[in-house]
Amino acid sequence: MRYHLLCAVAASTAIATPAASSYDYIVVGSGPGGGPLAADLARAGYSTLLIEAGGDEGDNPTYADIMNFNEAANDETTRWDFWVKHSDDPARDLKFKHTTWDTGEGTFYVGLDPPEGAKLLGIQYPRAAVLGGCAMHNAGVCSMPADDDWNIVVNKTGDTSWSAENMRKYLKKIEKNEYLPPGDEAHGYDGWLATSVADNSWAKNDSLPGTRMLRKLAKLTGQDPDKAADLVNRDINEVGENVDETTSFYNMVTHATSKGKRSSPNNHIRATLADPAKYPLTVKLHTLVTRVLFDNATLKAGSTPRAIGVEVMDGASLYKADPKHVPGTKGPVSQIFASREVIVSGGAFNSPQILKLSGIGPAAELTKFNIPVVKDLPGVGENLGDNYEGSLLAMGSAPVESGLITLLFRTPSAPTKKRNIYTWCGAFSFEGFWPGFPTYHGPTQYTCAMVHMAPKSQAGSVNLVSADPQDKPDINFRFFERHGDQDLRELVEAANLLRQAFNAAGEPAAPFVEKHPCNGDTDQLCTDELQTEYFKLQAYSHHATSTCAIGGDEEEMAVLDSKFRVRGVEGLRVVDASAFPVVPGAFPSCPTMMLSAKAAEDILADAKKKKKKT
């Protein structure tokens, strides 16, 4: 398959104001971590500079309307293309069906048989360089992680403010719930992040193929088929005893309004800028941060290095992940200072890159590129983790009338009692990411997409390829390197369960012909061994986390303490998904926004303490 490399560039809405030379706080990156944090610091009265490498597309329907998420993720107006590896074995990665190549003719080739002379790019992992970050191009799923995913920080650091019970207050703080009656104590109704659900009334129509599949899935997972039409409206973000061990249908929650408008950090930033209170927030767009600056006096032996600002390069499309980047293009370089702190919120790929370019990371790697070592922190860029994702895709004999079926369940071999699969089934196609995704297989396509929760392997890394801040890092997820047999077994078990529901659709939708993981229409062709090999080679992901992980004082690979402070330096924090010690649940977007609200509270508490001392 061929896809054009470049398309027309839409104009960005200019909301930036001229940057001063110094602020109380500088926040680098406007995604789910940094965007809300910058707004909250400014609303507390502190002069705050928010730096974003992209522009503002808040008024662009491609981003503002949540239904356009596929177009948003493909849009070269904001897309950054990272070409990642899934393993240390190049031959294995070349079996990934959506491997992408540059033809040299202004097009991409996606597949296993590239034209002669094509340049290997790798496996696409798109990120969003835009005000609001990846929350502006995702599908907007808002789902809470298991309690243990929060409590692990308590266990590592002793900081009880990370307990799942306490973390819930941050959802309540940011949420503007539009799908439950006011008064539910587990939710918020006055925050900046709208949450909503779809109309699932279709499930009451017993004549639909999708309803018959729903009832079959209920039976397969120990639920009452006669109650399935009501269970599909269950709150996926409920609280209660043993919630994380509960197999059930749910209504998928999205961070969008009930009218289908995306709700993201972009809205919170814009509202803060437009507020009559004139909060001291400055947004600097189309600006690439090249490194964090440190006070020279604190770099002397025996002193604790202190961050005092950032160096930036001004201009659009300066980073080489941007498909609009023109080779050799640079921008003017300047320095901006922070009297209190610098907060890096570039995400799981760019936050460790910025730290390393600034001299914070594994000493051997920094020395290799002649970067002066400010602090030897071997965990920077390590511990990269992600959810494994895959799908069961089949073609029906006729279109499958159905709404979206959302199901969380536990497979038989899961090592704990917690559910480990988040699946959503419907008449769509989702097979991963590549330029131009997804493939439309026709009106009879039907998919159960799966996200594997609590993956056992977090063996990936983000490493520099040079000291040039415009270069993309080398990213290797090392899928299934640790406990891979167990994770693969769980994926196969999930596929085997979901497959049983397909033909329950009945005529005219059934029978189905499966396209993957098993290509064919007979059970004899679909062995566990075949499926294991399929998922090992074709699993994909888009929830990268944990490359600047919070950890305990005695952990060699810990990068941050429980207050997001970079260990061994002062005046520097990291607030984004890279801070999670493990992948949080099935979708990290809303958990990262909650993490941001916690970081704001921690930073403001520190500022208050310092004010009292002076």
- 3-class state of residue 270 by DSSP: helix
Domain coverage including residue 232: 199-251+388-454+480-538
Q: Is the domain of 327 the same as that of 450?
A: no
Kind and range of the H or E element at 290? strand 287-294
Write out pLDDT tens, residues 191-200.
999 999 999 9
109 occurs within a structural domain = no
314 & 342 share domain: yes
The crossing angle, in degrees rounded to 10, of helices 34-43 and 589-613 is 40
242 with 351, same domain? Answer: no
What is the percent of the chain with per-residue pLDDT over 90, rounded to a whole number? Answer: 93
In the block, tokens 């969380």 appear at 408
What average pLDDT does the structure give for the chain?
A: 95
Relative to beta strand 375-376, strand 360-361 is: parallel
Residue 416 lies in a domain: yes
Q: Is 130 annotated as a binding residue?
A: yes
Block residue for tokens 């360089």: 129
Of 491, 515, 538, the position where a domain reaches its end is: 538
| pLDDT value, residue 611 | 77
Q: Is residue 100 part of a domain?
A: no
**pTM to 2 decimal places:** 0.95
Alpha carbon of 516 to those of 216, 527, 538, 560: distances in Å? 21, 12, 10, 41
Place of tokens 């922070």: 338
Residue 361 pLDDT more than 80?
A: yes
Q: What is the pLDDT of residue 599?
A: 98
Same domain, 344 and 279: yes
User: Which pLDDT value is given to residue 524?
Assistant: 62
Q: Is residue 119 part of a domain?
A: no
Bridge partners for 341 per DSSP: 25
Same structural domain, 42 and 22:
yes
Per-residue pLDDT tens over the stretch 239-293: 999 999 999 999 999 999 999 999 999 999 999 999 999 999 999 999 999 999 9
**Do residues 559 and 600 both lie within one domain?**
yes
Q: What is the pLDDT of residues 325-339, one digit of tens each?
A: 999 999 999 999 999
Tokens of 387: 């959810």
CA nearest 173: which of 593, 557, 537, 562?
Answer: 593
Asked, for residue 257, whether it belongs to a domain, the answer is no
Last residue of a domain, one of 523, 538, 553: 538
Same domain, 335 and 354: yes
- Give the three-state DSSP class for 301: coil
Residue with tokens 């520097």: 572
Question: CB–CB of 41/280 below 8 Å?
Answer: no
pLDDT at 6 over 60: no
The encoded tokens of residue 475 equal 């990213």
Which are the contacts of 395, defined by CB distance < 8 A and separation ≥ 6? 441, 442, 444, 445, 446, 512, 513, 515
183 is in an annotated binding site: no
Mean pLDDT over 589-610 rounds to 96
Poorest-confidence range of 32-41, 378-387, 460-469, 604-613? Answer: 604-613
Could you tell me if 513 and 553 lie in one domain? no
Q: 514 and 418 in one domain?
A: yes
Domain count, the chain: 2
Q: Bridge-partner residues for 84, per DSSP?
A: 123
Instruction: For residue range 513-567, list pLDDT tens digits in order.
Output: 999 999 985 556 899 999 999 999 999 999 999 999 999 999 999 999 999 999 9
CB 573, CB 341: distance < 8 Å:
yes
- 20 assigned ligand-binding residue: no
pLDDT, position 248: 98
Asked if residue 526 and residue 402 are part of one domain, the reply reads yes
- CATH, residue 563: 3.50.50.60
Question: What is the per-residue pLDDT across 369-390, written as a single tens digit (0 to 9) for each?
Answer: 999 999 999 999 999 999 999 9
Residue 426 sits in the same domain as residue 330: no
Is residue 177 one of the residues assigned to a domain? no
The residue with greater pLDDT, 609 or 485, is 485
Task: Look up the CATH number of the domain holding residue 216.
Answer: 3.30.410.40
Q: Are 106 and 5 in contact (CB under 8 A)?
A: yes
Please state, in angstroms and rounded to a whole number, the distance separating the CA atoms of residues 288 and 80. 13
Does the bond joining 517 to the residue before it have cis omega, within 30 degrees of 0?
yes
Q: Is the pLDDT of residue 3 over 70?
A: no
Q: How sure is the predictor about 2, in pLDDT bands with cuts at 50, 70 and 90?
A: very low
Residue 116 CB contacts under 8 Å (≥ 6 apart), including other chains: none
Residue 435 C-alpha from the chain's centroid: 18
467 — pLDDT class (breaks 50, 70, 90): very high
Across the range 58-87, mean pLDDT stands at 97
Domain final residue pick, 538, 563, 583: 538
Q: Strand pairing of 375-376 and 388-395?
A: unpaired
Confidence band (pLDDT; 50, 70, 90) for 300?
A: confident
Average pLDDT over residues 15-34: 84
Domain match, 327 and 371 both:
yes
pLDDT at 81 over 90: yes
* 34 located within any domain: yes
Q: Is 140 a known ligand-binding residue?
A: yes
Q: Is 163 domain-assigned?
A: no
